[in-house]
């Protein structure tokens, strides 16, 4: 069981990428221009790096999509490489940008693309392709029914806009949900409100900590109970700050997270972590496993994790004898202002990498666009609590039928999964995204890490006070290099200035070594001739 652990490596790799881009040592690609026509007489082999949620149905859908696409375009072969972790894709892409060996098409997050853009012309801006009359969205020369640009949910498409251009297309969208053990909430004497609030969750969670004389929790009769577990603590911090209208980041990359609201939120988290009422995935494990074992009441995870939630879930990671029967409710993440709820929009997007051969790029674009067809959209969205990103798919009779059949079975029509999708479908207008810039992925990691740190410290009975907060802010700034993020434009546009002395020395040394190696090879060649 490999746990996610890629964030720091990505920070280091991103720094390396910036250095490589700055030193102009590698061959750079020219800007992509859409060819007049797609050459069907030539074979194209393209690679597609995709992410699945450790869900083999999703793998099967990717494979089916590729097979269907290849039957329409017999001169294009698509090679699928699968990942189960966005961070790993990010790391591998960064590593491959420096050697011009990126995939052709890649599932990604806009935060990550912002870093990819550090490589000159690495990622193809899609606007010209969108608009191309033949091969663009709903283009006349396409061999499949593609949506028009106006049929991509505008909010989702907007998330893919960086530096004034679309560098990606949305593939699927999800949000976070709070999966609630309603049975336990009511057993504790509470009634679920229409919209969960943070105060409600903290109060119920503390109430659930009561134990009997033998140390068993009264609510479940077990030795283990963590009432509130959050999977992605970066989202937790980001959503809390947004709901509080507090600073996180400016559109230009200004770091605003180290503020008094953040401190206040961290004190609250520490208080409840200290009693044992709150924990995180990184510290304790998957919220779903605790929820299904009757050891958690409020489990916050992606709607794309809905098939793991509940005692009747189609995907279960704990043994059958540990499962506890309970009524589950799928709710919006907790709010500070329930009248004006706000929740994060997330989910995979797809980008196209540039190559020397524009025909290869065009082939890549055709495949990327194929992923927006109804067949792929509806099939993939139905694997988890995702929603399709096109209105064409969302409004189709096929998708409506899928939603209507909620609860018909505990597999394809598992009610928790469909409830999770409905949560986003009905509240898309309440979703938001964070600013994207080169370094926004690091800021996101820092946001989550602060919650992890105070949670661990509180559990270890350490003092969490002003001095602690100051040290924590300084540590996060240094660890994630947040003081090195450039604001107000891309690295490409900025004057990089003089190289640091150490970097200059390194480059001079490298040049000297290459010269020495060259001289040696030359000398050997001359000696052989003699």
138: exposed, middle or buried (Cβ count in 10 Å: 0-12, 13-18, 19+): middle
CB 33 → other proteins: shortest distance, Å?
35
341: exposed, middle or buried (Cβ count in 10 Å: 0-12, 13-18, 19+): buried
Give the residue with the Cβ less far from other proteins, 83 or 336.
Answer: 83
For residue 209, state whether it binds other proteins (rule: CB under 8 A).
no
Of the residues 289, 307, 382, 440, which one makes contact with other proteins according to CB under 8 A: 289
> Judged by CB under 8 A, which stretch of 110-118, 347-355, 458-466, 501-509 contacts other proteins?
458-466
Give the residue with the Cβ less far from other proteins, 85 or 163.
Answer: 85
Number of residues in contact with other proteins under rule CB under 8 A: 30
Phi-psi region of 281 (alpha: psi -120 to 50; beta: other; left: phi over 0): alpha
For residue 278, state whether it binds other proteins (rule: CB under 8 A).
no
Give the residue with the Cβ less far from other proteins, 11 or 389.
Answer: 11
Contact (CB, 8 A) for 329 and 88: no
Place of tokens 């009610």: 415
Of the residues 26, 244, 459, 481, which one makes contact with other proteins according to CB under 8 A: 459
Within residues 236-265, the interface with other proteins by CB under 8 A covers none
| Run of H or E residues at 505 | helix 501-529
For residue 324, state whether it binds other proteins (rule: CB under 8 A).
no
For residue 12, state whether it binds other proteins (rule: CB under 8 A).
yes
Listing DSSP states for 31-89 in one string gives: PP---SS--TTS-EEEEEEEE--S-HHHHHHHHHHHHHHHHH-TTEEEEEEEES-HHHH
- DSSP-derived pairing of the beta strands 328-332 and 176-181: antiparallel
Within residues 389-408, the interface with other proteins by CB under 8 A covers none
> Judged by CB under 8 A, which stretch of 201-209, 311-319, 386-394, 408-416 contacts other proteins?
311-319
For residue 463, state whether it binds other proteins (rule: CB under 8 A).
no
CB 450 → other proteins: shortest distance, Å?
15
| Run of H or E residues at 180 | strand 176-181
Give every CB contact of residue 333 below 8 A, 6+ residues apart in sequence: 175, 176, 177, 178, 196, 239, 300, 343, 344
Of the residues 15, 59, 192, 264, which one makes contact with other proteins according to CB under 8 A: 59
Q: How many CB atoms lie within 10 A of CB 506?
A: 14
For residue 460, state whether it binds other proteins (rule: CB under 8 A).
yes
**Rounded CA Rg of the chain:** 25
Q: Is 179 helix (H, G, I), strand (E, B) or coil?
A: strand
| Run of H or E residues at 111 | helix 110-116
* Calpha distance 358→354 (Å, rounded): 8
Give every CB contact of residue 222 below 8 A, 6+ residues apart in sequence: 216, 293, 294, 295
| Run of H or E residues at 524 | helix 501-529
Place of tokens 């892409």: 93
For residue 295, state whether it binds other proteins (rule: CB under 8 A).
no
Q: How many CB atoms lie within 10 A of CB 376?
A: 22
Length of the chain: 530
For residue 319, state whether it binds other proteins (rule: CB under 8 A).
yes
Q: How many CB atoms lie within 10 A of CB 290?
A: 23
Give the residue with the Cβ less far from other proteins, 422 or 459.
Answer: 459
CB 4 → other proteins: shortest distance, Å?
12
Of the residues 39, 64, 127, 317, which one makes contact with other proteins according to CB under 8 A: 317
CB 316 → other proteins: shortest distance, Å?
10
Q: HSE of 375 in the Cβ direction (CA atoms, 13 Å)?
A: 14
Give the residue with the Cβ less far from other proteins, 91 or 104.
Answer: 91
Of the residues 49, 228, 286, 386, which one makes contact with other proteins according to CB under 8 A: 286
For residue 318, state whether it binds other proteins (rule: CB under 8 A).
yes
Within residues 74-103, the interface with other proteins by CB under 8 A covers 80-84
Of the residues 54, 99, 484, 524, which one makes contact with other proteins according to CB under 8 A: 54
CB 274 → other proteins: shortest distance, Å?
10
Give every CB contact of residue 145 below 8 A, 6+ residues apart in sequence: 373, 374
For residue 471, state whether it binds other proteins (rule: CB under 8 A).
no
Give every CB contact of residue 340 below 8 A, 6+ residues apart in sequence: none
For residue 1, state whether it binds other proteins (rule: CB under 8 A).
yes
Within residues 109-148, the interface with other proteins by CB under 8 A covers none
Tell me which residue of 405, 407, 369 sits closest to 389, measured CA to CA. Answer: 369
Give the residue with the Cβ less far from other proteins, 400 or 471.
Answer: 471
CB 282 → other proteins: shortest distance, Å?
8
Place of tokens 């494979």: 63
CB 322 → other proteins: shortest distance, Å?
8
Tell me which residue of 104, 100, 127, 124 sits closest to 28, measured CA to CA. Answer: 100
CB 295 → other proteins: shortest distance, Å?
12
Of the residues 16, 31, 56, 474, which one makes contact with other proteins according to CB under 8 A: 56
For residue 67, state whether it binds other proteins (rule: CB under 8 A).
no
Of the residues 20, 161, 209, 283, which one makes contact with other proteins according to CB under 8 A: 283
Give the residue with the Cβ less far from other proteins, 11 or 137.
Answer: 11
CB 20 → other proteins: shortest distance, Å?
19
Give the residue with the Cβ less far from other proteins, 84 or 428.
Answer: 84
Binding site for other proteins (CB under 8 A): 1-3, 5, 8-9, 11-12, 52, 54, 56, 59, 80-84, 283-286, 289, 317-319, 322, 456, 459-461
């Amino acid at each position: 069981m490999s746990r996610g652990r890629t964030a720091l490596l990505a920070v280091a790799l991103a720094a390396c990428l910036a250095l490589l881009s700055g030193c102009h040592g590698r061959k750079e690609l020219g800007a992509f221009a859409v060819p007049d026509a797609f050459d069907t007489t030539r074979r194209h082999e393209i690679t597609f790096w995709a992410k699945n949620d450790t869900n083999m149905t999703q793998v099967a859908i990717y494979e089916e999509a590729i097979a269907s696409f290849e039957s329409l375009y017999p001169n294009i072969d698509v090679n699928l490489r699968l990942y189960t972790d966005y961070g790993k894709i990010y790391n591998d892409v960064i590593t491959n940008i420096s050697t011009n060996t990126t995939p052709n098409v890649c599932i990604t997050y806009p935060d990550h693309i912002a870093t990819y853009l550090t490589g000159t012309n690495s990622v193809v801006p899609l606007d010209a392709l969108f608009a191309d009359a033949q091969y663009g969205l709903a283009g006349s020369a396409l061999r499949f029914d593609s949506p028009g640009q106006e049929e991509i949910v505008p909010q989702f498409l907007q998330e893919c806009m960086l530096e004034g251009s679309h560098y990606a297309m949305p593939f699927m969208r999800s949000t976070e949900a709070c999966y609630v053990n309603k049975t336990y909430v009511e057993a504790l004497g509470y009634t679920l409100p229409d919209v969960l609030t943070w105060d409600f969750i903290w109060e119920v969670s503390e109430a659930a900590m009561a134990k009997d004389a033998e140390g068993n929790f009264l609510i479940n009769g077990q030795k283990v109970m963590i009432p509130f577990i959050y999977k992605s603590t970066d989202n937790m911090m980001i959503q809390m700050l947004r709901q509080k209208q507090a600073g996180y980041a400016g559109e230009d990359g200004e770091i605003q997270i180290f503020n008094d609201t953040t401190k206040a939120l961290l004190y609250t988290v520490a208080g409840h972590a200290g009693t044992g009422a709150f924990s995180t995935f990184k510290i304790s494990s998957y919220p779903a496993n605790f929820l299904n074992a009757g050891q958690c009441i409020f489990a916050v995870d992606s709607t794309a994790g809905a098939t793991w939630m509940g005692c009747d879930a189609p995907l279960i990671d704990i043994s059958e004898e540990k499962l506890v029967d309970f009524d589950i409710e799928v709710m919006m993440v907790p709010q500070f202002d329930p009248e004006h709820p706000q929740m994060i929009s997330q989910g995979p997007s797809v980008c196209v990498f540039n190559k020397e051969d524009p025909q290869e790029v065009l082939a890549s674009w055709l495949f990327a666009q194929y992923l927006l067809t109804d067949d792929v959209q509806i099939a993939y969205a139905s694997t988890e609590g995702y929603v399709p990103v096109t209105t064409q798919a969302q409004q189709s009779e096929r998708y409506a039928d899928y939603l209507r059949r909620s609860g018909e079975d505990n597999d394809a029509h598992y009610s928790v999964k469909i409830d999770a999708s409905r949560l986003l479908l009905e509240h898309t207008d309440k979703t938001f995204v964070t600013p994207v810039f080169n370094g926004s992925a690091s800021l996101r990691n820092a946001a989550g890490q602060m919650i992890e740190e105070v949670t661990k410290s509180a559990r270890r009975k350490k003092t969490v006070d002003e001095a602690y907060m100051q040290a924590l802010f300084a540590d996060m700034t240094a660890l994630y290099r947040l003081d090195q993020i450039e604001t107000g434009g891309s690295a490409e546009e900025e004057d990089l200035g003089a190289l640091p002395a150490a970097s200059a020395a390194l480059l001079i040394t490298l040049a000297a070594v290459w010269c020495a190696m060259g001289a040696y090879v030359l000398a050997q060649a001359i000696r052989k001739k003699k």
